[in-house]
Amino acid sequence: MALKNLSNQTLAWLKRGVFLLALVPLGNLAVAGFTDGLGANPIEKITRSTGYWTLTLLLITLSITPLRKLSGWQWPVRLRRMLGLFAFFYACLHFSMYLVVDQFFDWEGIVKDIVKRPYITVGFPAFLLMLPMAITSSDGMIRRLGGKRWRQLHRLAYLCAIGGVVHYWWLVKKDLTNPITFALLLSVLFGLRLFYVAKDAIKRRRNADTGTAAR
Amino acid sequence: MPVYKPTAIPASEITPRQLFNDRRRFMQIAAGASLAALLPPSVWAADNKLAGVKNPAYTVPEELTPYKDVTSYNNFYEFGTGKDDPAKNAGSLKTRPWTVTVEGEVKKPQVFDLDTLMKMAAIEERVYRLRCVEAWSMVVPWLGFSLAELIKQVEPTGKAKFVEFISLNDPSQMPGQQTSVLAWPYREGLRIDEAMHPLTLLTFGLYGELLPNQNGAPIRVVVPWKYGFKSAKSIVRIRFTEQQPVTSWMLAGPGEYGFYSNVNPTVDHARWSQAKERRIGEFLRRKTLMFNGYEQEVAALYTGMDLTANF
Ligand code: HEM
């Protein structure tokens, strides 16, 4: 299939395209900011938009492996690091909005929030979990850690997404439509992953069985 | 001399009167609309005007939140849960004719026509702070008179301990009611002494005009020392009861939204702090005031009450 393997050139173009696409939410905010389009409460609007895109990009990043398994395509994996780093990028913006603009370095208020507001109690560690993944995203770090340990570390992404969904669930006042949608998507991704883990395990066992039989 | 003989016009070609008139009206409306578009809003909104005498005793000396923000950033779940949904969707609300049924523990239960109601007392302009439970706030010039004026007319019985406000329930006019985010109709309530307090405003307008639909047209209450959701919008029924009413938000989150819901910086919402608020248009948060700054006027209503337990 033509889609299965892309030429390096096509992939380079694809990367540029995805890069630009991932900047669209930020661009939209910037345009709205200059055209008085952020509404009456711009700070809330930006905080919410960047939070939304953090979670969305995180889920897109997590869908790469299932997509590869389902389709047999190899190239999406080559986009994964960029997508993950964009999720981190939006998380940094999101956190900065809270830290600088919303609370204005009111450390006492922030500590209180982390302890007392359940949605921040889960949001904060979810954000912190992204740090080790971002730090170990370079080729050098992957080599230094070794593929296996690197993969184990980056399973944190699931924990982070779960934290993000719970955070969203707990912060909305009443309308749970969006948090439920994210929760469903995340469970599908998680389900697919478990399915493939189970399938691989069965295959391995069977291989092992046939191995003994041949002996 | 040849005589010009007009050919008979077949009946099928004659525009029916109905259509002709419709088209005529359409042209008139179109012409009017394009003209109106050229004029400043103050001119074409002339028939939306509502005059009120400024009440200096109830005018907070704070900068007004711009009209645009007051009318585009709203919580009114009947029209959607997004802040900009009400301004987008509330066009479908028909505010005339409109009646308000007053019933329950009163000697003179009545159905009031809106226009009668509006003439019951002199309309005042009052500038109130509005504090939302979500920790943002505005300053709004409302138009109306004390709800007490209406209450006196219907003469509550000795059993009337509470007043319940019931908003319109009509999913065809209120698209947000097609989902069950809240228990419809929207219900709110006050204790009778809170309802009788002169600050509690029966409201018909803001910024010198009739209430825009997204702000609770055509009639709402404004209870400035309580979180915004206590101020019921688009009211069709006012019921006097002996038992404390169960409000829509109490049903939605019993541990989060109490019957009293007085603005109180020392009692946090279950999931967020109420100590500070963002005044719309300002950058840094400001401190939230006890009873939203109306402590002098209303604190006496709650003497001896545990405001943490009765949140
Ligand atoms: C220190 C960490 C974090 C803090 C302090 C924080 C704080 C906030 C705040 C204040 C809001 C807005 C609430 C409101 O307007 O009512 C918000 C919304 C949101 N945040 Fe976070 N957040 C954090 C981390 C995260 C992370 C890691 C994710 C995703 C994985 C995330 C996803 C979201 C989402 C999806 C929303 C809601 C967006 C919407 O309303 O559409 N947040 N967050």
What DSSP string runs through B70-131? HTTS---GGG-SSTTHHHHHGGG---SS-EEEEEESBSS-EEEEHHHHHTSS--EEEEEEEE
- B8: in domain: no
CB proximity A117 to B under 8 Å: yes
- Domain formed by A17-202, architecture: Up-down Bundle (1.20)
- B206: in domain: yes
B32 & B53 share domain: no
Give percent above pLDDT 90 in chain B: 78
CB proximity A2 to B under 8 Å: no
Q: What is the mean pLDDT of residues A188-193?
A: 94
**Is the model more confident about A3 or about A104?**
A104
Interval B204-224: pLDDT, tens? 999 999 999 999 999 999 999
B115 & B219 share domain: yes
Average pLDDT score over chain A = 90
With b for 16 or more beta-carbon neighbours within 10 A and e for fewer, the B281-310 pattern comes to eeeebeebbbbbbbeebbeebbeeeebeee
**pLDDT classification of B271: cutoffs 50, 70, 90:** confident
CB proximity A43 to B under 8 Å: yes
Does the predicted model carry a pTM greater than 0.90? no
Beta-sheet pairing, B53-59 with B124-131: parallel
CB proximity B294 to A under 8 Å: no
CA of A130 to the centre of ligand 1 (A): 14
Other residues' Cβ atoms within 10 Å of the Cβ of residue A201: 10
Q: What integer pLDDT is reported at residue B209 of this predicted model?
A: 97
Q: What is the mean pLDDT of residues B55-72?
A: 96
- For residues B294 and B194, the answer to whether their CB atoms sit within 8 Å is no
B130 & B28 share domain: no
- Residue A160 Cα, gap to closest chain B Cα (Å): 21
- For residues A174 and B182, the answer to whether their CB atoms sit within 8 Å is yes
Residue A173: list chain B partners with CB under 8 A.
134
- B38: in domain: yes
- For residues B62 and B139, the answer to whether their CB atoms sit within 8 Å is yes
Nearest to A80 by CA among A72, A68, A71: A68
Q: What is the mean pLDDT of residues B227-232?
A: 97
Q: What is the mean pLDDT of residues B73-102?
A: 96
Q: What is the mean pLDDT of residues A179-203?
A: 93
B272 & B241 share domain: yes
Tell me which residue range forms the domain holding B31. 17-42
Query: Minimal Cα distance from B68: which residue of A?
Result: A40
B80 & B26 share domain: no
Give percent above pLDDT 70 in chain B: 85
- B3: in domain: no
- Give which of A110, A116, A174, A176 to mutate to test B binding, by max B Cβ within 10 Å: A174
B94 & B150 share domain: yes
- B177: in domain: yes
B29 & B105 share domain: no
Q: What is the mean pLDDT of residues B148-175?
A: 97
B132 & B23 share domain: no
Q: What integer pLDDT is reported at residue B293 of this predicted model?
A: 97
Split into its structural domains, chain B has a count of 2
B55 & B28 share domain: no
Residues 6+ positions from A180 with CB-CB distance below 8 Å: none
B78 & B144 share domain: yes
Q: Which long-range contacts (CB under 8 A, 24 or more apart) does A15-20 make?
A: A15/A78, A15/A79, A15/A82, A18/A79, A18/A82, A18/A83, A19/A82
Rounded to whole angstroms, the Cα distance separating B210 from B217 reads 8
Q: What is the mean pLDDT of residues B108-133?
A: 97
**Is the model more confident about B125 or about A173?**
B125
- B133: in domain: yes
B29 & B89 share domain: no
B151 & B190 share domain: yes
Q: What integer pLDDT is reported at residue B44 of this predicted model?
A: 45
pLDDT at position B34 over 60: no
Residue B77: list chain A partners with CB under 8 A.
174-175
